[in-house]
Amino acid sequence: MEKPLLTGKRVLLIIAGGVAAFKSLDLIRRLREQGAAVRCVLTEGGAAFVTPLSVSALSEDKVYTSLFSLTDEAEMGHIQLSRDADLLLVVPATADIMAKMAAGLATDLATTALLATDKPVMVVPAMNVRMWEHAATQANVATLELRGVLRVGPVEGDMACGEYGFGRMVDVPDIVAAVSAHFKGDSNPLKGRRAMVTSGPTYEAIDPVRYIANRSSGKQGHAIAAALAGLGAQTTLISGPTKLPDLAGVTTVHIESARDMLVACEAALPSDIAICAAAVSDWRMASEAVQKLKKHGGEPPDLTLTENPDILKHLSGPGPRRPQLVVGFAAETENVVANARAKIDRKKCDWILANDVSPDSGVFGGDANTIHFINADQAEAWPKMSKTDVAARLAARIAAHLNGKP
Ligand code: C5P
């Protein structure tokens, strides 16, 4: 007989305070059926929905509830509790607990364990649709994902509060499947692959103190680098100046100009995957002034521009070092699909993710994106989603493509 999928795995299940907490009871049984040892932390809010007694009976273990319990600390300190597990699983992950995780708060046993752990963390969000869509929650989720926290769901559906939309927790079998996939290594389908991602704006010097730039935030490119690294790719992020922190598990090369970006890209070759998400300045000064340009009371200076190298086109060009998959972005204000197709022809890249950046789209600097995925024979409209979800979807598609799945 085959061994159950989770034999020998230790899961620390953190049950937070949401209506979906009752599903964690079934989850404990299903995880244990698959061979996992499940130890539970119940938050104060969680205990309003499920009793410590049921949790303890189902897990056949003690339930941990309080940070300052002397007996608990004597038997099993909170640091050890967080590290004894192979995976920390937060079900349901409420808006509140994810906000605390993103902020690094350690106000109770659950958040302290989450902050103290050196093990993978998976969150399974469940909340009202407005709470899920709130900019604060989306920003917190993005922060957690950039730090490598795994996420399952939420999905669209009816909610306990009577509303309909995104925020509903995935079903228990889906959580067990995600946990199993994590342990099976399915979460590392890009292991052994090299990836490079350009991100952010470029700065083109006018003189020693002034420059030409654009409003790119780097959020999309950074999220893609995090997603590729999350799937196991050895990832180099070549980033123009942004306000974003460097990503854990990603090699970040900071550059300013398009020409520097090109040099850094060359240095990152060979690479299996190249994603050009940077908003590279099309032009730079024909000749950069060595000294600060002065007002002389007469005519303003003549800023003669010259074209920058096209990095995407350069990387897509034929040769032994061409990455197996080169992906570009197209920011369009009209005829999104047709213009993106023309761009594939012109630049010889493999895929284009085209987005509408017309002034009312909110893409620049925002957290959401509406993408058209385009390659030689497909044009697919993706629903509006967060930039982290775009990144996850793209990374999964890249993994499937390189591993020969349709
Ligand atoms: O030509 P356009 O700027 O619309 O093309 C956008 C795509 O090309 C993006 O993927 C961008 O990162 C890339 N690009 C580049 N180098 C440039 C200009 C654009 O890599 N100089």
Quick: pLDDT tens for 216-262: 999 999 999 999 998 899 999 999 999 998 988 899 999 999 999 99
pLDDT above 80 (res 360) = no
Q: How confident is the model at residue 156 (pLDDT cuts 50, 70, 90)?
A: confident
Q: How far is CA 225 from the centre of its chain?
A: 8
pLDDT single digits (tens) 315-344: 999 999 999 999 999 988 888 888 999 999
pLDDT of residue 153: 87
Give the integer Cα–Cα distance in Å for 278 and 222. Answer: 10
The mean of the pLDDT values for the chain is 91
Write the burial class of residue 295 (CB in 10 Å: 0-12 exposed, 13-18 middle, 19+ buried).
exposed
Report the pLDDT value the prediction gives residue 405, as an integer from 0 to 100.
Answer: 59
What is the topology classification, in CATH, of domain 194-291+298-402?
Rossmann fold (3.40.50)
pLDDT above 70 as % of the chain: 94
DSSP state of 17: S
Instruction: Give 101's contacts (C-beta < 8 A, 6+ positions apart).
Output: 90, 111, 114, 115, 121, 123, 140, 144, 149
The residue that leads in pLDDT, 347 or 357, is: 347
Residue with CA closest to ligand 1 atom 6: 330
CA distance 110 to 116: 10
User: H helices within 60-94, ranges in order?
Assistant: 70-75, 78-83
Listed in order, the ranges of the chain carrying CATH 3.40.50.10300 are 194-291+298-402
| pLDDT at residue 280 is higher than 60 | yes
Q: Which residues make Cβ contacts (< 8 Å) with residue 27, sequence separation at least 6?
A: 13, 91, 172, 175, 176
Query: How confident is the model at residue 127, as a pLDDT?
Result: 94
Q: 157 near 11, Cβ under 8 Å?
A: no
DSSP string, 98-122: HHHHHHT---SHHHHHHHH--S-EE
Query: Rounded mean pLDDT of 58-79?
Result: 78
Where are the strands (E) in 112-213, listed by range? 121-125, 150-151, 155-158, 164-168, 194-199, 204-205, 211-212
| 161 in active site | yes
Query: What local confidence, expressed as pLDDT, does residue 248 receive?
Result: 81
* The pLDDT value given to residue 143: 86
In Å, the largest CA–CA distance within the chain is: 89
**Does residue 278 have its Cβ closer than 6 Å to ligand 1?**
yes
CATH 3.40.50.1950 domain span(s) along the chain: 10-184
Three-state DSSP state, 20: helix
Specify the DSSP element, H or E, that contains 268.
Answer: helix 258-268
pLDDT class for 308, splitting at 50, 70, 90?
very high
Strands (E), 305-404: 305-307, 325-332, 351-356, 368-369, 371-375, 378-381, 385-386
Work out which ligand 1 atom sits closest to the CA atom of 308. 21
pLDDT digits (tens, 9 = 90+) for 17-42: 999 999 999 999 999 999 999 999 99
CATH number of the 10-184 domain: 3.40.50.1950
> Could you tell me the distance, in angstroms and rounded to a whole number, from the CA of residue 146 to the centre of ligand 1?
24
Q: Which atom of ligand 1 is nearest to the CA of 277?
A: 12
pTM greater than 0.75 (yes/no): no
Closest ligand 1 atom to residue 327 Cα is 10
> In this structure, are residues 141 and 386 in contact, taking their beta carbons and an 8 Å threshold?
yes
Report the candidate in 127, 173, 179 with the shortest Cα–Cα distance to residue 150.
179
As a whole number of angstroms, the distance between CA 398 and CA 233 comes to 11
Classified as helix, coil or strand, 297 is: coil
Cβ–ligand 1 distance for 138 under 6 Å, the answer: no
Residue the block writes with tokens 């997603």: 227
Report d(CA 63, CA 60) in Å as an integer: 9
* Residue length of the chain: 406
330 CB within 6 A, ligand 1? yes
Whether residue 361 is predicted with pLDDT greater than 70 in this model: the reply is no
Q: How far is CA 18 from CA 104, 146, 160, 214, in A?
A: 21, 25, 10, 42
Q: Is 204 in the pocket of ligand 1 (CB under 6 A)?
A: no
What pLDDT is stored for residue 76 in this prediction? Answer: 65
State the pLDDT at residue 34.
95
**Percentage of the chain surpassing pLDDT 90?**
66
**Cα(275)–Cα(311) distance, integer angstroms:** 10
Task: Give me the pLDDT at residue 394, please.
Answer: 93
Could you count the other beta carbons within 10 Å of the beta carbon of residue 163? 12
Condensed to tens digits (0 to 9), the pLDDT of residues 108-134 reads 999 999 999 999 999 999 999 999 989
What confidence tens digit (pLDDT) does each residue in 163-216 have? 887 889 999 999 999 999 888 876 688 999 999 999 999 999 999 999 999 999
